[in-house]
Amino acid sequence: MARSVPIPDGNKVFVLTGAGVSAESGIRTFRDANGLWEEHRVEDVASPEGFAKDPELVWRFYGQRRAQALTVKPNPGHHALAALEARLGDDFLLCTQNVDALHEAAGSTRVIHMHGELMKTRCSDPACGTAPFHDERHDFGELPRCSCGALQRPHIVWFGEIPFEMHRIKRVVQACDVFVCVGSSGVVYPAAGLVREMTYRRSVGETVRTVYVGVESPDNADAFDEVVIGKAGETLPGLFAR
Ligand code: NAD
């Protein structure tokens, strides 16, 4: 019999997604092969130090990611989460670690990109006041520069940087009834630690539920009441009953 996770109308739901939810759309997960991400060492292409050392390599890497992102489509997992949001409205928030825009492409609107957005660029000088902007450029003759003269950089949270909107994310987690995590290995912090807030809330007598959905048990599996093993695109449609 198909698994079902009851979520009655009126429940407040927080969903955290990771690279696994986009895997069936053709975007490789982070940890597919021995710490290499699309054949690069993570620290070379996804850290401030890597950008300072070789901005050309970093822009080439993100240019390739952008070019690929323009060709992919949301899968049934993204659509199932958009349908859950359509039912729950403001009682729903989706926080994604993914920098792709596949949740929005599936119709999700209440989305936080805690690790940034692939199709945005900003000035690399923190003192420069210009806002991040939508940017699909992916083939650079020379490195892109801000009007202030500094290099522009991808609007991505790299290793060693602080994720966006952590206060808002924590507030919502502290008030939700159900915490759902999809396709995240549970090793990248602070995202992997968010579910611990639910453990704490339960320890002080609150009634909360936590569910993980993914192809393998995550590192932080002990924090989940239920671990549903399966691909996001096959498992999520029909998983959430009233
Ligand atoms: P991760 O690569 O560490 O873990 C992915 C998890 O998804 C694994 O546990 C894997 O078992 C699971 N998985 C693989 N295929 C799946 C499927 N079809 N259905 C369900 N689960 C599946 O990714 P993470 O935990 O998100 O953390 C790594 C970091 O990598 C994040 O910060 C994220 O920003 C970045 N990243 C993003 C993208 C993207 O934007 N699509 C892609 C790669 C990496």
DSSP string spanning 120-170?
EEEES-TT--PPPEE------SS--B-TTSSBEEEEE--TTSPPTTHHHHH
CA separation for the pair 117, 212 (Å, rounded):
24
Atom 8 of ligand 1, nearest CA residue: 185
Q: Helix, strand, or coil here: 86?
A: helix
152 vs 32, more confident? 152
Counting from 1 in the atom list of ligand 1, the atom nearest the Cα of 218 is: 9
Predicted local distance difference test score (pLDDT) of residue 29: 81
In DSSP terms, which residues pair with 5 in a beta bridge?
A: 240
* Gap between the Cα atoms of 107 and 206, Å rounded: 32
Atom of ligand 1 nearest to the CA of 213: 20
Domain positions in the chain: 13-26+74-115+162-235, 36-71+119-156
Q: What is the pLDDT of residue 18?
A: 97
CA quadruple 156, 162, 167, 171: dihedral sign: positive
Question: What was the pLDDT predicted at 42?
Answer: 87
pLDDT tens column, 147-180: 999 999 999 999 999 999 999 999 999 999 999 9
- Asked which of 37-46, 59-68, 88-97 is least confident by mean pLDDT, the reply is 37-46
Sign, CA dihedral 90-168-208-180, equals: positive
Q: Is 18 in the pocket of ligand 1 (CB under 6 A)?
A: yes
pLDDT recorded at residue 34? 56
pLDDT at 37 over 80: no
CA nearest to 134, candidates 89, 96, 104: 104
What's the chain's average pLDDT?
A: 95
Give the pLDDT of residue 33: 56
Amino acid in position 6: P
Confidence class for position 36, pLDDT limits 50, 70, 90: low
Looking at the CA of residue 118, tell me the nearest atom of ligand 1: 40
Does ligand 1 have an atom closer than 6 angstroms to the CB of 97? yes
User: Can you tell me the distance from the alpha carbon of 153 to that of 175, in angstroms, rounded to the nearest whole number?
Assistant: 35
Could you tell me if the CB of 46 is within 6 A of ligand 1?
no
How much is the average pLDDT of 94-116? 98
DSSP H/E element including 173: helix 166-175
Provide the pLDDT for residue 40.
Answer: 87
Closest CA to 233 of 48, 137, 119, 106: 106
Tell me the best of 29, 75, 115, 231 to mutate to test the pocket of ligand 1, counting ligand atoms within 8 Å of each CB and taking the most.
Answer: 29
Nearest-CA neighbor of 197 among 20, 9, 14, 19? 14
- CB of 74 closer than 6 angstroms to any ligand 1 atom: no
CA–CA gap between residue 22 and residue 177 (Å, rounded): 25
Listed range (22-36, 150-164, 194-208, 227-241) with the worst mean pLDDT:
22-36
Confidence of residue 35 (pLDDT cuts 50, 70, 90): low
Task: Please compute the mean of the pLDDT values over residues 177-194 and round it to a whole number.
Answer: 97
When the candidates are 3.40.50.1220, 3.40.50.2300, 3.40.50.2000, 3.20.20.210, the CATH number that belongs to 13-26+74-115+162-235 is 3.40.50.1220
Structure tokens of 162? Answer: 């602080």
The number of beta carbons lying within 10 Å of the beta carbon of residue 175 is: 12
Strands 13-17 and 92-96 turn out to be parallel
Instruction: Report which ligand 1 atom has the smallest distance to the Cα of 27.
Output: 41
Say whether pLDDT at 182 is over 60: yes
> Could you tell which of 30, 65, 220 is best to mutate to test the pocket of ligand 1, judged by most ligand atoms within 8 Å of the CB?
30
Q: What's the pLDDT score for residue 208? A: 97
> Crossing angle, helix 196-203 and helix 166-175, to 10 degrees?
40
Active site residue 115: yes
pLDDT computed for residue 163 by the predictor: 98
pLDDT tens profile 109-139: 999 999 999 999 999 999 998 999 999 999 9
Whole-number pLDDT of residue 3: 78
pLDDT at 1 over 70: no
Protein fold of 36-71+119-156: SIR2/SIRT2 'Small Domain' (3.30.1600)
- The percent of residues in the chain predicted with pLDDT above 70, rounded, is 96
